[in-house]
Amino acid sequence: MDGESDLSDVEVRAPSAEVWRGRRVHWQDRATWFGALETWLEREWRSGGKARLQKRKLDLCWDDSDWLVALDRHVQPSIETLIEELADDLANAKLRTFHGCRVPDAGVFHREGLRRNEPAELEALARRLVAEDDDLAWMRPKIEGIIAGFEDRERDTGRLYGSADERPQLDRSGQYLLFGSEWLQCLLGWGAHRALKRYGTPTVVEVDLPFDWASKGTRREFARHLLQEWTRVFVMGETFSPALDFSVILLRDIPAEMVVGHSHPRVLKNPFVQYRTERTANPTCPHCVGSAKA
Ligand SMILES: [Zn+2]
């Protein structure tokens, strides 16, 4: 019976699996996961394998998968088995996740949480933007036709996107912070970029996400990154924290209690114009102003 085998599995694996229970894992802050992963790995080494790995002289780029090949030689299970087990155990952890967007007041996330893509809501926002911003006056006679003819209307329906590392959003994929929802960008096109950039303030929302809300495939990919980076740092010693381009797609809303903070980047890079630096005119929002006064 499945239930029985699951139970014995839990009993055998419990001591190391427990290191992830309730733990907040933040890729950029190695203190949140490096030691935990070392503890988790303790039962997996071949005899003397850990010491031998540390003495290896490896000259590899941080994202070279040969780090995992090196680890594989010194542990008992195959690396794929380790990744699978870690993906299962990470279901007990929380992943610090970042969501980049533009909003007039980030307080809405602290009050209401984050909602999945809902085309009807975005259509309403598009109508409002076109009605209120004279830069889009030329679009007023045809906005209903644009909405009715939008072939990609369902492109992101029911989805919510997050990232395990905010740095790529500031550096390589700043378009969501500069111009807001990709759905709106696709609907309104390039001609609306200036208006979209005037709406709201670039905002990065921070969420402590129960990692079992992400798919097993997502956890598996993240487990692979963690093991690879752990090996690199274990061999090389303390070094820089590489920016990781890693997306998490959710199929449910995030309640307000999981939103742990937000920030407004002062500087972004525009991927549509050779990563030109763009400064945020007013990197604050009513929620920040209210918190400062309180
Ligand atoms: Zn704010």
- State the Cα–Cα distance between residues 6 and 11, nearest whole angstrom: 9
Give the global pTM.
Answer: 0.90
Token reading at 181: 């929802």
Give the distance (Å) from ligand 1 centre to CA of residue 252: 24
Residues 6+ apart with CB under 8 A from 1: none
Give the distance (Å) from ligand 1 centre to CA of residue 203: 7
CB atoms within 5 A of ion ligand 1 belong to 106, 285, 287-288
Give the distance (Å) from ligand 1 centre to CA of residue 171: 20
Give the distance (Å) from ligand 1 centre to CA of residue 204: 9
Give the distance (Å) from ligand 1 centre to CA of residue 260: 12
Residues 6+ apart with CB under 8 A from 240: 62
Give the distance (Å) from ligand 1 centre to CA of residue 282: 10
Task: Supply the pLDDT for residue 2.
Answer: 42
- State the Cα–Cα distance between residues 259 and 254, nearest whole angstrom: 8
Give the distance (Å) from ligand 1 centre to CA of residue 36: 33
Give the distance (Å) from ligand 1 centre to CA of residue 32: 26
Give the distance (Å) from ligand 1 centre to CA of residue 254: 18
Give the distance (Å) from ligand 1 centre to CA of residue 240: 29
Pairing status of strand 24-25 against strand 94-103: parallel
Rounded to 5°, the CA angle 249-254-260 comes to 110
Helix axes 216-236, 34-41, angle to 10 degrees: 90
Give the distance (Å) from ligand 1 centre to CA of residue 115: 18
Give the distance (Å) from ligand 1 centre to CA of residue 101: 12
Give the distance (Å) from ligand 1 centre to CA of residue 104: 9
- State the Cα–Cα distance between residues 93 and 159, nearest whole angstrom: 22
Task: Supply the pLDDT for residue 14.
Answer: 52
Give the distance (Å) from ligand 1 centre to CA of residue 288: 4
Per-position pLDDT tens, the chain of length 294? 344 444 444 445 556 789 999 999 999 999 999 999 999 999 999 999 999 999 998 889 999 999 999 999 999 999 999 999 999 999 999 999 999 999 999 999 999 999 999 999 999 999 999 999 999 999 999 999 999 999 999 999 999 999 999 999 888 878 889 999 999 999 999 999 999 999 999 999 999 999 999 999 999 999 999 999 999 999 999 889 999 999 999 999 999 999 999 999 999 999 988 889 999 989 999 999 998 877
Give the distance (Å) from ligand 1 centre to CA of residue 290: 9
